[in-house]
């Protein structure tokens, strides 16, 4: 069984596609996730039916590697984006000049953190 925080991360990553393919089921799963209800098995079945991957676009290897910060005097700092509501374990490394990834469940940018 998928851990609840992992299921929320998978739903977040796949929600745009699910909303296009089956808006009613997608919104029911999103409502279940927001309410803290167990929806992992329903999500798994839907992803299998649609032949979509059951993974989030996460990077779970610690901090996801260093990101270069600064101008000529560059130094490395670990910067990663995390779920804005701490609902899931989604983590994405910051990429230079790339926009902040979005939490599709909350319709908000992921939260930038540093270590």
Across the range 9-31, mean pLDDT stands at 94
Nearest partner of 108 among 88, 93, 42, judged by Cα: 88
Give me the pLDDT at residue 74, please.
Answer: 47
**Percent with pLDDT over 90 in the chain:** 43
Question: What are 58-106's pLDDT values in tens digits?
Answer: 444 333 334 344 444 444 458 899 999 888 888 888 888 889 899 999 9
**Which residues partner with 102 through β-bridges?**
109
Considering the chain, what is the average pLDDT of its residues?
80
For helices 23-35 and 4-21, give the axis angle rounded to 10 degrees: 160
More confident residue, 65 or 22: 22
């Amino acid at each position: 069984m998928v851990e609840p925080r992992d299921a929320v991360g998978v739903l977040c990553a796949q929600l745009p596609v699910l909303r296009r393919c089956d808006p009613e089921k997608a919104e029911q799963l999103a409502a279940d996730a927001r309410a803290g209800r167990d929806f992992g098995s329903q999500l798994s079945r839907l992803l299998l039916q649609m032949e979509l991957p059951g993974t989030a676009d996460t990077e779970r290897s610690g901090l996801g590697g260093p990101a270069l910060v600064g101008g000529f005097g560059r130094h490395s700092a670990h910067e990663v984006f995390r779920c804005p509501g701490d609902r899931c374990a989604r983590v994405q490394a910051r990429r230079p000049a790339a926009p902040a990834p979005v939490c599709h469940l909350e319709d908000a940018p992921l939260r930038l953190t540093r270590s």
